[in-house]
Chains A and B, each alone.
Chain A
């Protein structure tokens, strides 16, 4: 059976090639990877002080903290964020486990740190 997600649009690949060239050269069309890229954009905006994205970013970081600290399980975390939370938690479980439980305490430094974890995780498959 065909799965639409496998179809790589030429234009998409072409543009992504240029868009993402800071980190890697080629890119496979993969919704979870793309979601991560989109989250990285939010983080970058938050690092740059864009207040309107802070609550969304804080929610992801806070749920990752709860997962890493064992307060939430694979079954309780937001379904849309499952893979991002697991990836972040795997990237630095200790960091998220000991992060403040109050999202209001997250700041630019937190966002910068999370952003730095994401970049190497956006691995490339050709």
Chain B
């Protein structure tokens, strides 16, 4: 069920949904909440790594962190978004979702028209700033303002509650974008072992 303004307002009042800071109550729209661009960025760079290694087969020789650079801006400052650049950012708002509500996060239409895209799902019970992975698919750079409402979240209620912390989470209460922890995926160890068996064992 897609939650509407009255539902969202009620959840906030009951303390079941935290959005901090909610600078303008008008951010809560009829069927979605506008979220703002946060202050911290991780920008993909041409570092010393020849590629971003999403595997364990190279013994962590090319750590992902070498391909990203951290930068910060203050509210009202701008961030220049180059064509085809991948940037990790966060929502300005810290969010704690109810255990039975998940979020679909997309760019606001005005920003989609600039060539920026985003599609993300946030699980029930999540807490932290939304992590957003942005790419400028336009041919020209786009200058974004920190604090601008660039994305919207639609909230959906599910039939059963789920505990976000029933299992260990890679990202807890994050307030800045974090480097991908893809290498800690359990599957990777499994796949790496298969690769080793196929390549090193007689």
Q: Do chains A and B touch in the complex (CB under 8 A)?
A: no
- What residues of chain B have their CB less than 8 Å away from a CB belonging to chain A? none
- What residues of chain A have their CB less than 8 Å away from a CB belonging to chain B? none
